[in-house]
Chain A
């Protein structure tokens, strides 16, 4: 249940960064932020900051490098939340 909440919350965070031709319905757990959702790589930095704020966690540079897909982000959030 919590996982589904994270997922919905994450979709909400990603939504404003989507280009005009991609909608929130195009997001799936496997979506690659840059290659599939066409998110500007500069904006990935902002998504990370929004994730930190929303989930009250801190992401390190390594975490950011690993965060390529939506499910990568979910796994990192889950790990950080459970170690809190």
Chain B
């Protein structure tokens, strides 16, 4: 038996809310963070709606020094620093002293690609033969680990400081990595999370793959329809979510508030075999990942009261629900409550897992299962597996004991984490 691991801090910079109060309100009331982007229309995107955190420069100035702000052109970095420092503050933790780092605290903060706009700026200068004009910040804003490096410097973390990357699984994988490190006694606290840039250079590749919805540009609020028969692709998103994971001993010693316990989790890959590919999951490996997460957590499938899926709003949602049903051996009215936050958040790509973990955990605090506001026509294949009453359109009052959250990503990679309401 290793150390028990609890969540003591949350931070969020999401399209549907920056900061916990706005974010929670959006989830409770089904308020969308997806909007029309003229820039995408001007660039001839098929999908012209997207999710992007709403930030003023005044707000950003609170998190960066004037020196850090000079030439700052990396949106994911901005979102990650906001969510990360907010989670640290929410946990009641402070920055390390000037002379010595906090050896017991680390950072595992992932991303898919960082500082795309800064990189574009740099490419133009290099191509013009003007490399010297890049200045000192093009590397630190575009290296993948720029986000963990920034947070590490701001907080003075002296334990492991790293960035993980596993496409849309990144954020959920990070929670499990942080859990493992604390459980084994290698760290007392890990700030984990993930971030993703916004903008056409990140979203363009997905538009080209024709996996984004092209016919909902006039209706941004209802463009993302997870679990629906009319789902026609995922709405691209961006932002960052952050969680402070901490050993129970450390949390108790500090008298910290505890949002939930991380019971365990699992990560695996389908190896792009058995029906899996670069872009599609091997269903058996998804089921295996879910079952391994239960086993690792020491619980049975009947204990799961709510599932927060990956459920992106492509044609693959019914397959995911089937995988949950087979892995948990539960269906119909016996299926746990099921939701997807992508209807109002969009698909935050590398940031999705962490933003959704934050939202899933907030359900314990609120004593609610947040609704699925955009389901007008539940997919018939899904309705065969799960009774309608288990997929609430509107937020319902129900305090879950145990929640399973999964994320799946390009490369046929999977992660599933189990959260439980904290009891001493």
Contact = CB atoms under 8 A, between A and B. Distances in A.
A30 interface: no
Interface string A14-27: 00110000000000
A9 interface: no
Contacts of B137: 46
Nearest to B65: A16
Chain A, interface size: which category? Answer: under 10
A49 interface: yes
B67 A17 contact: yes
A49 B71 CA distance: 12
A38 to B, nearest CB: 13
B136 interface: yes
A16 B135 contact: no
Interface in B39-72: 66-67, 70-71
A45 B136 CA distance: 6
A43 interface: yes
B135 A45 contact: yes
B133 interface: yes
A1 interface: no
B73 to A, nearest CB: 14
B133 A46 contact: no
Nearest to B139: A42
Contacts of B133: 49
A54 B120 CA distance: 25
B64 to A, nearest CB: 12
Contacts of A43: 67, 136
Among the interface residues B70, B132, B137, which one has the most CB atoms of the partner chain A within 10 A?
Answer: B132
Contacts of B132: 49
Nearest to A43: B136
A46 B135 contact: yes
Interface in A31-60: 42-43, 45-46, 49
Nearest to A61: B132
Nearest to A48: B132
B149 to A, nearest CB: 13
Contacts of A16: 66-67, 70
B11 to A, nearest CB: 25
B255 to A, nearest CB: 31
Nearest to A58: B132
A21 to B, nearest CB: 9
Interface in B68-83: 70-71
A46 B135 CA distance: 5
A2 B67 CA distance: 28
Interface string B301-313: 0000000000000
Nearest to A64: B132
9 contacts: A16-B66, A16-B67, A42-B136, A43-B67, A45-B135, A46-B135, A46-B137, A49-B132, A49-B133
Given A46-B135, A46-B136, 11 more contacts: A16-B67, A16-B70, A17-B67, A43-B67, A43-B136, A45-B136, A46-B71, A46-B137, A49-B132, A49-B133, A49-B135
